[in-house]
Chain A
């Protein structure tokens, strides 16, 4: 039996690794309609023209470069934890890592019933992160497995905390994430 005292531990490693925690990193998502930027250049972004996907007949085709388009996404900065293994995290050829965003518990916004079940680890798609008195920076929050996504390492050059998940914690997160993905899976043909 392995006994864990906390979810967190001090992290002297400055490198990107599984279980590392970053603060205020952008988490992106797309919602319809899809807005496409044309004539967009990094050096002169304000010169871009914005079109709805429905306005363009050549989107993602001959009107684009290499079948790619620049689009407008929505984002919010959040604390994130790295789920990718250390090899992928360290290998420069891998441009992205898998990250799980965290959401702060708000007793005024969340219903008490939700909080009670969350705090007992009852939701399969969420991993509860209680506040830890040893790490006051880590407030009561939770990982939402439904929002796990790939994030460019370019966004992880700063914001790393000197706190990371403990080994027990990352094992528990991965175990629960796998449970979440496999939950109620229909028998495969």
Chain B
């Protein structure tokens, strides 16, 4: 049986601690859930992975999402989807570089001279 310290989920003020139990291990009694904190008891079939099955106190009306579990028990390695997405980001960044020659790289300091900013001020007054 494994219990985590209380965690804050996202930007909410929800404090959650989780007790994991294998198979038929006896769950501990509830620790007087209040408005701002409560325990969630989760049973995992560890041989099938962390996220295989779970249940929780019936007083909880909302479903515990896998993302919540991820925040409580962050995996030590990036997920395959994360790595796949970062590959995509690399592809886009490389495409940016490949097209860089076509981008305008003017000397902005000389382009935006005093006359430009005077026109900018005048523009505000135009109808």
Contact = CB atoms under 8 A, between A and B. Distances in A.
Do A and B form a real pair? yes
B117 A93 contact: yes
Contacts of A174: 96
Secondary structure call for the A interface: loop
Interface in B68-114: 70, 74, 78, 81-82, 84-86, 88-90, 92-97, 99, 108-109, 112
B67 interface: yes
B85 A3 contact: no
A4 B108 contact: no
A7 B85 CA distance: 11
Contacts of B85: 119-121, 128, 130
A171 B92 contact: yes
Chain B interface category by residue count: 20 to 34
Contacts of B89: 4, 7, 121, 168-169, 172
B93 A175 contact: yes
A172 B65 contact: no
A30 interface: no
8 contacts: A4-B89, A7-B86, A93-B120, A119-B85, A168-B90, A169-B89, A172-B96, A175-B96
List the 3 closest pairs (A to B, CB-CB), nearest first.
Answer: A172-B92, A171-B93, A171-B96
Interface of A: 1-7, 66-67, 85, 87-88, 91, 93, 104, 107-108, 119-121, 128, 130-131, 133, 139-140, 167-169, 171-172, 174-176
